[in-house]
Amino acid sequence: MSTLQLKHIDKRFGDTVVLRDIDLEAAEGEFVALVGPSGCGKSTLLRIISGLEPTTAGEIILDGKRVNDVSAAERGLAMVFQSYALYPHMTVYQNMAFGLENTGTPKAEIERKIGDAARMLQLDVLLQRRPTQLSGGQRQRVAIGRAIVRNPKLFLFDEPLSNLDAELRVQMRAEIIALHQRLKTGMIYVTHDQVEAMTMADKIVVLRAGQVEQTGTPLELYNSPQNRFVAGFIGSPRMNFIEAVVTARDGRGLTLALAGFEPQATINVAVDPAAAAHGTAVMLGVRPEHLEVAEGAGAPDTVTVQIAQVEQLGGHGFIHCTLPTSKRSLVVQFQGQIASRAGATVTLRIPPAACHVFSTAAGEPALPPLHGAG
């Protein structure tokens, strides 16, 4: 059981700044997901933790001790790569034994450890095969098995499931969750799949362009995204954004005129009225699952839009709408089944309590809720 702290980590390759002032804490046994778009620095950060890459500045603290100058081998962490990195000329058993033989582990102990890991990962009958004789999911299990037998202080995963098809991903996801519950070893798990992060992690760190945008539990990020980037990144389908202007303020919050609707739509939101002056341009955010199909037009907090497409999935579905006077589209998630078709108009209620209001700049913080509201 180990703890990890990163303090003010900077990383530059030449003049290129790849990571900037990264702080991160992983408690004992915690499952931490690092998410963010391609190129934001996830793999670089994981390689810095593992010891494969030096930092430009900042401290890496493992179990309370600074390990910046400790070699990768001596840090006692195990990394699982997207590419599996198995030795093609070795059997599954040899692939798993290789690292242990190098450190002089007695043969009987190697056999016992591989036996335990193979049972846990259902690799028992595959131990004499070579990687080319395995499916993608089986190879990924071998790569995980090789990490397990080393009994690491922490597991470091770099997009371990991204080479697998959708069904296998879901299955391996469940297996890694079960493995974490059983071993109780901390995991730092890199993914750009926010669904993976939401379903697996105790804590999610959202990175963008080498900086931490927000850290929190999956539901903290979903319920209270600190800025528009996090709001758009967490949640699937992604949050709808609608341009708006502040037209009135009072003790109950802000009145917003929403752009793109015909007739003109307004909505009252419980946002601290001190946060935005009259006439300020803002971005209203509302998740597809929070929009409601309403009965009649003209009721408060409703908008009328034309349906571009309806996706019926049986148990639930999606309505894609186009806004008449803007290029933006709006996605609505509904429960059950609906009769509406493409080309028809639909009235949607935007529940004020489910609204997020952001500054128009993507990285700027969300406007604070009215005190006592939300």
Ligand X SMILES: Nc1ncnc2c1ncn2[C@@H]1O[C@H](COP(=O)(O)OP(=O)(O)OP(=O)(O)O)[C@@H](O)[C@H]1O
Binding residues for ligand X (CB under 6 A): 13, 16, 18, 36, 38-44, 192
Using rule CB under 5 A, residue 43 touches Mg ion: yes
Sign of CA dihedral 353, 359, 364, 368: negative
The nearer residue to Mg ion, 158 or 175, going by C-beta atoms, is 158
The nearer residue to ligand X, 143 or 258, going by C-beta atoms, is 143
Ordered DSSP codes for 209-256 = TTEEEEEE-HHHHHH--SBHHHHHHSSSSPPEEEEEEEEEEETTEEEE
Q: How many binding residues for Mg ion (CB under 5 A)?
A: 1
Helix (H) or strand (E) holding 73: helix 72-75
Q: Which stretch binds Mg ion (CB under 5 A): 43-51, 101-109, 204-212, 366-374?
A: 43-51
> C-beta of 192: minimal distance to ligand X in Å?
5
The nearer residue to ligand X, 82 or 333, going by C-beta atoms, is 82
The nearer residue to ligand X, 18 or 205, going by C-beta atoms, is 18
Using rule CB under 5 A, residue 50 touches Mg ion: no
> C-beta of 279: minimal distance to Mg ion in Å?
43
The nearer residue to ligand X, 159 or 175, going by C-beta atoms, is 159
Residue 87 site contact among ligand X, Mg ion, none (CB < 5 to 8 Å, cut-off depends on kind): none
Residue 113 site contact among ligand X, Mg ion, none (CB < 5 to 8 Å, cut-off depends on kind): none
Give how far Cα 285 sits from Cα of 299, 353, 363, Å. Answer: 20, 11, 14
Residue 44 site contact among Mg ion, ligand X, none (CB < 5 to 8 Å, cut-off depends on kind): ligand X
Using rule CB under 5 A, residue 44 touches Mg ion: no
Phi, psi of 179 (to 5 degrees): -60, -40
Burial of 104 (0-12, 13-18, 19+ CB in 10 A): exposed
Query: Helices (DSSP H) in 92-227: which residue ranges?
Result: 92-102, 107-120, 136-148, 166-183, 194-200, 218-223
